[in-house]
Amino acid sequence: MGIFPTSHVCPLATEQNEFRCTDLAGKPDDSCELCRMSLRNEIGTAMVEGNTAFTAMLLANHILIAEGFVMTRGEEGDIQLQRSQGKRVERPGDCDIEAFSFGAEKGFRLLIIIDSNTEKTEEFSSMEDAIQGYFNNKSFIADLAQGDQ
């Protein structure tokens, strides 16, 4: 599964007042290889550093946005992608994708709220794998949310 939606617009093309990527090496999802490398290598750093503008640019028109994820600021100033059903209380089926960096260890974490005392956590080496992890757990997440109603 690609991490770019079919409507992806290259940030570098936008900078040069062009609409689409000029390098089609990233087919079939219409993203240039430079965009793919940027998202794979730089989004984690942008999220950990709390760089809202750069993270938003990389995630513009992204499939996670269509899934209901929004950018939120974590306790340490980092950026997390959060999909929740309620504004104040965590509910079963709510989930977060966050980047982490501890020394040389870097990656992405998917957290799924099971109940008020339990969460399921999976760690991934790339954003692409974390997104795939979300989709692999999507029916489980839906079942949790359904049971909470």
SS (H, E, C) the chain: CCCCCCCCCCHHHHHCCCCCCCCHHHCCCCCCHHHHHHHHHHHHHHHHHCCHHHHHHHHCCCHHHHCCCEEEECCCCCEEEEECCCCCCCCCCCEEEEEEEECCEEEEEEEEEEECCEEEEEEECCHHHHHHHHHHCHHHHHHHHHHCC
Q: What's the distance, CA 139 to chain centroid? A: 18
Q: What is the pLDDT of residues 95-104, one digit of tens each?
A: 999 988 877 7
Given this model, what pLDDT does residue 137 score? 94
Whole-angstrom distance, CA of residue 113 vs CA of residue 91: 7
Question: Model-level pTM greater than 0.75?
Answer: no
Which residues of the chain are under the pLDDT cut of 50? 1, 25-28
Given this model, what pLDDT does residue 18 score? 59
Q: Where are the domains of the chain?
A: 11-147
Given this model, what pLDDT does residue 111 score? 94
Two structure tokens written together for 138: 């999507």
Whether a cis peptide bond, with omega within 30° of 0, leads into 92 is no
